[in-house]
Structure 1
Amino acid sequence: MATMSEKDLKADAKNFCESLANVFMMKRRDPQTQHLLQKSKSLIEALLQEKRSKTERPSIPPKPARAGGGSMGQLWVKLDEMKRENDELKKKLHGKMHDEKTMQSKTQGPGEVIITELHKSKTENETLRSQLEKSMTSIKELEKVNLTLQDEFKRTKVAHDVAQKSLEKVKQEQKTLESSLDTVKTENDKLKMRCTNSVKPMKRADNRFVENINEKCRPSNIALLYNNLESQQWVDAKEGLEDAGYEDEEMITKFLCDILMVTYSICTELLTDIDNGIAGLLKDPSKLLDSSFLDCTKDSLCLPDELLHSIKDVLRQNYEDIDPEPIVTKCKEKVRCANEWDQFEGVLGHKSINRYMEQCACVTWQMVVQQSPMWLSTSDTYFDEELHKLWWSCDKSSAKMIKFFVWPALYDCRNGNLLVKGCVNTSME
């Protein structure tokens, strides 16, 4: 009987120690773990206290067993054996903890099963908790995105409403403008009718004073050629004179302007000679045999207007066939005769100067063969902003009197409409 009870006690102690080892593997914050630890701690302290009290007491020889007291002696003996075994198990416990963590016992007690399940549950709980935290973080981020999208939607909606109102306002303004345009068109038509009924049409014998757009040689095209002459050949000629060593800009510009005016006068005289010559030939065709005929026709009677206009039509149609070289030669002769341009005699054969003279001849010839000859003017003495443009070196605030023309003004006829402003150099007095 004593051996059975001793074996039971040993088995209980062994199971308790194994359970205690498993408990050490768990976290101590678990209530069941704490309870088992406290229980083992109290038991171990009680056994240690009892062992200390035994060692401190003097050894007393065991009393002979009394009748009826044998069972208590055996219990004390078993208790001492259990204490010794418990101490040995404590020493072995620390060495076997690592092996018992990796190996599972074939036979597990109910406490071990509960602890294992509790460990699994805690691991799953921690995993679920981390997932829950991630989900909560994602939910917060999505809530922020949702709030941002809601704000954007509100702003977009407000902007859409404003744009819708602006569109409606623009549509209303468009309707108002359309109605106003219709009203203005109606009033314009009425005014046209009134003007047509009140003004009597002018009677004209022919259409020769109206510009014919079918002709290339017409005032508007000539005005374009005149502008190109200033911006191209005139600039090249000016640079050629500067390269040749002429530094006085005033003298250069006056010289080039005079060349243009001389060419214009030569073309005008040429047309007059044609008029007088034809009139003289029609009067006496035999005069054509006389080589000095043209010199004698200065005072001849002019052609009738209708015949002269017909001749000019032919001249305008053939304006591209005219040879500018005789006109250039005549211009050079006149320049040489003028004493004030003696210093430029050496550059009259320069390419840029010659090209400038040829272009002047072609443009001015087209001017004089118009039905009403176009007019180049350098006769103004006072600066007028509507008729003149200032040379770059002149001050507009002090522009009053015209010193000289850098570029003549072009009119569609004498005292007619201005086509190209003249460029002038001015002074205070």
Structure 2
Amino acid sequence: MMVLEGKFGQQQKGISGRQRSRDNNDQSQQTPDNTKQTSGRRETQPPEHEIREPGHHYDSRRSEQAKNENIPAIENSEKARSSKFSDEFSKTVRSKRASIKMRQNNPDIADLSDTNRPTRIAERFSELYDNEWTEAFEELSRRSRSEKETIEYLLSIVQEAYKFCANEAERQIKDITKVFDRILEFGSNDYNNKELISQSNVRSEEGHRLIVQYRKEMAGLAVERFKQVFMESKKHKWNRNIRLPAHLGALDLYGKKAVELTWWMSVQDPPVYLCPASESETDGFDKSLYRAYTKSGTEVDFFVWPALKLYKEGGVLMKGVVQFK
């Protein structure tokens, strides 16, 4: 009886062991996907809704706190940049005012920021003689004109252009001043239909200077119109006197360029001075203002190109050209 019980007990233990083994296998097959078996060690991953991309901060509050901590630094940086810009702008304004004040009543001091300052005009005037003058001279020479006659004709174009522009510049200042006075006296609606009552010609030096400066700033608007007006007014006279054809390309270009440069001379404050260059001026001839054309000497035969001065009593900007006997 005891033998039977022992065998039966052993059989029962064997059955129980096999049952436990099957149960363990079933449990291992039912293990969730988020549990891994790695080298005998089980690792549990977070649920899918909690998985973050690499580098992502799990604590969003910490990230927001870091942003808030950076705000004062960003604001301080913006303030520093704004302050630096303001300081640079103030320096530029002060420098500009100091430059204007320094140049007042002292035309020998140049404004280097002005692309149409006297020295630059003189450079372009010299280029006009080297380039457009040469081409126009060759164009006229092909029409059996003498060298002296051709040179004097080209010189007369520049002289007439200078006179034309100087008159226009003076007239403009008078007209602008008159319009300002009418607007002040009658208002902006009626100024054009009434004459001034006071007819006062008293102007402050500062007011006149500001008007001249304003006209210079806007002078470029008149260039193309003056080119057309001058060329149309002179072509008939030139063609009648020297029997030129209706159109000569190089001569037209030369005339228009002469008008442009003499206009910029005329709107300077004070105006750039184009020295007289004619046979009637040889008595007071200043040799230091000129260089020789093809012959050297002491006695003038004819002028080729005019000299420029900063203003009438000012220094020489560019020497002229003269032919000696």
TM-score range, shorter chain: 0.5 to 0.7
Change beyond 3 A, Cα 1:289–1:261: farther
Conserved in 2, the CA contact under 8 Å of 1:376 and 1:410? yes
Conserved in 2, the CA contact under 8 Å of 1:407 and 1:424? yes
Aligned mate of 1:353, from 246, 251, 256 = 251
Q: Is 1:313 equivalent to 2:209 in the alignment?
A: no
Whichever residue aligns with residue 192 of structure 2, its letter is: L
SS of equivalent residue, structure 1 residue 370 = coil
Change beyond 3 A, Cα 1:302–1:342: farther
Conserved in 2, the CA contact under 8 Å of 1:276 and 1:300? no
Measured after TM superposition, the shift of residue 342 of structure 1 is: 3.1
Aligned mate of 1:418, from 311, 316, 320 = 316
Conserved in 2, the CA contact under 8 Å of 1:378 and 1:405? no
Change beyond 3 A, Cα 1:423–1:378: same
Measured after TM superposition, the shift of residue 306 of structure 1 is: 2.4
SS of equivalent residue, structure 1 residue 424 = strand
Measured after TM superposition, the shift of residue 249 of structure 1 is: 1.1
1:387 alignment counterpart:
289
Conserved in 1, the CA contact under 8 Å of 2:272 and 2:308? yes
Whichever residue aligns with residue 136 of structure 2, its letter is: A
Q: Is 1:236 equivalent to 2:140 in the alignment?
A: no
Change beyond 3 A, Cα 1:412–1:241: same
Measured after TM superposition, the shift of residue 229 of structure 1 is: 0.7
Whichever residue aligns with residue 127 of structure 2, its letter is: N
1:218 alignment counterpart:
117
Conserved in 2, the CA contact under 8 Å of 1:237 and 1:352? yes
Question: For 1:425 and 1:221, how far apart are their aligned partners in 2?
Answer: 26
Conserved in 1, the CA contact under 8 Å of 2:226 and 2:259? no
Aligned mate of 1:288, from 166, 183, 192 = 192
Conserved in 2, the CA contact under 8 Å of 1:328 and 1:361? no
Q: Is 1:259 equivalent to 2:168 in the alignment?
A: no
Question: For 1:265 and 1:300, how far apart are their aligned partners in 2?
Answer: 28
- After superposition, the CA RMSD in angstroms is 3.0
| Offset from partner CA, 1:353-394 (integer Å, 9 cap, x none) | 1111111111111111111100101254155442111221x3
2:224 alignment counterpart:
324
1:409 alignment counterpart:
307
| Offset from partner CA, 1:65-118 (integer Å, 9 cap, x none) | xxxxxxxxxxxxxxxxxxxxxxxxxxxxxxxxxxxxxxxxxxxxxxxxxxxxxx
Change beyond 3 A, Cα 1:289–1:412: same
Aligned mate of 2:268, from 370, 374, 383 = 370
Whichever residue aligns with residue 363 of structure 1, its letter is: L
Change beyond 3 A, Cα 1:247–1:346: closer
| Offset from partner CA, 1:306-361 (integer Å, 9 cap, x none) | 233323333433444433343443355246457xx734353463111111111111
Question: For 1:343 and 1:300, how far apart are their aligned partners in 2?
Answer: 45
Change beyond 3 A, Cα 1:326–1:215: closer
Whichever residue aligns with residue 262 of structure 1, its letter is: E
Conserved in 1, the CA contact under 8 Å of 2:303 and 2:322? yes
Q: How does 1:144-163 map to 2 (within 5 A)?
A: none
SS of equivalent residue, structure 2 residue 223 = coil
Give the TM-score of the pair, scaled to structure 2: 0.57
Question: For 2:130 and 2:205, how far apart are their aligned partners in 1?
Answer: 36
Q: Is 1:207 equivalent to 2:108 in the alignment?
A: no
SS of equivalent residue, structure 2 residue 164 = helix
Conserved in 2, the CA contact under 8 Å of 1:254 and 1:405? yes
SS of equivalent residue, structure 1 residue 324 = helix
Structure with the bigger percentage of helix: 1
Conserved in 2, the CA contact under 8 Å of 1:219 and 1:367? yes
Conserved in 1, the CA contact under 8 Å of 2:231 and 2:256? no
Change beyond 3 A, Cα 1:355–1:303: farther
Conserved in 2, the CA contact under 8 Å of 1:403 and 1:425? yes
Question: For 2:219 and 2:179, how far apart are their aligned partners in 1?
Answer: 23
Unaligned runs of 5+ in 2: 1-99, 184-189
Question: For 2:225 and 2:130, how far apart are their aligned partners in 1?
Answer: 22
Question: For 1:414 and 1:348, how far apart are their aligned partners in 2?
Answer: 37
Change beyond 3 A, Cα 1:224–1:281: same
Conserved in 1, the CA contact under 8 Å of 2:173 and 2:212? no
Task: Report how many residues are paired.
Answer: 210
Question: For 1:212 and 1:388, how far apart are their aligned partners in 2?
Answer: 27
Change beyond 3 A, Cα 1:207–1:333: same
1:246 alignment counterpart:
144
Q: How does 1:325-344 map to 2 (within 5 A)?
A: 325-334=225-234, 336-337=236-237, 342-344=240-242
